[in-house]
Structure 1
């Protein structure tokens, strides 16, 4: 799968957020995107629309050091490393905000048989200004169409 445009995949994304002060927020999305293999990593790419803003999302699938990168309506780089806290950032029209992730779980499985499929699971705390703002869980399953 060395093709730069990748394989077209159907994506099921389930996101759970438990804010430090608040109740569980959970949402599920079904998307179409692509899965690209580069070196020892796979990259899952998709586009979503939130509040009329188009956001291009790329997720690096690598158990040692993954990341979630978003561009468009919001710009964000969220590194995920189970061995140490990582610095990221979030940019909006209102300014840039430094973020820290404390990754508790990072599990990736990519199966390449006749069609590529896999899953990506992560659980992390998002830290802003030295304080945790919540616990985040992301569960993504994808299958080539």
Structure 2
């Protein structure tokens, strides 16, 4: 039976954004979270604090596709499906916005020997109002830590 709380993992998150009009923006964060296994899927969960706002993030990982769900300071559903355009949404205190992702790269690797570890990488165009606003790359590495 799967543990609902999952295993505690240390997460290295690297996010790169190349706006349609602008310079490369790159962010790196080290976080602590949980990795939960349910059936053939893994769920990576962590919390970010941005400008005193807490954002809960859950990433559903399976072999063919991924979903990034965020709640708290922002609410977002970001579907990632290699080679397909997918509809999602982004909500902030300023309003709701329909978004589309066009995923060019998606790789997921989870290993479970003595401890769970993995790597998730995706590259996608974010489309708002029919126009690409930039190319996004997200790379996450995670490794179980013992408490």
- Tell me the distance in 1 between the aligned counterparts of 2:63 and 2:55: 24
Instruction: Give 1:76's aligned residue.
Output: 76
- Tell me the distance in 1 between the aligned counterparts of 2:65 and 2:118: 17
- Unmatched 5+ residue regions in structure 1? none
Q: What is the CA-CA distance between 1:13 and the residue it aligns to?
A: 0.3
- Tell me the distance in 2 between the aligned counterparts of 1:83 and 1:129: 20
- Tell me the distance in 1 between the aligned counterparts of 2:117 and 2:111: 5
Q: Aligned-residue CA RMSD in angstroms?
A: 0.9
Instruction: Give 2:53's aligned residue.
Output: 53
SS in 1 for 2:23: coil
Instruction: Give 2:106's aligned residue.
Output: 106
Instruction: Give 2:67's aligned residue.
Output: 67
1:80-99 counterparts in 2 under 5 A?
80-99=80-99
**TM-score, normalising length from structure 1?**
0.98
- Tell me the distance in 2 between the aligned counterparts of 1:36 and 1:73: 23
Contact 1:63 1:106 in 2 (8 A): no
- Unmatched 5+ residue regions in structure 2? none
Q: What is the CA-CA distance between 1:63 and the residue it aligns to?
A: 2.9
Q: Deviations over 1:60-85 (max 9, x none)?
A: 11131211100000000000000310
- Tell me the distance in 1 between the aligned counterparts of 2:71 and 2:35: 17
- Runs of 4+ deviating beyond 6 Å: none
**TM-score, normalising length from structure 2?**
0.96
SS in 2 for 1:142: strand
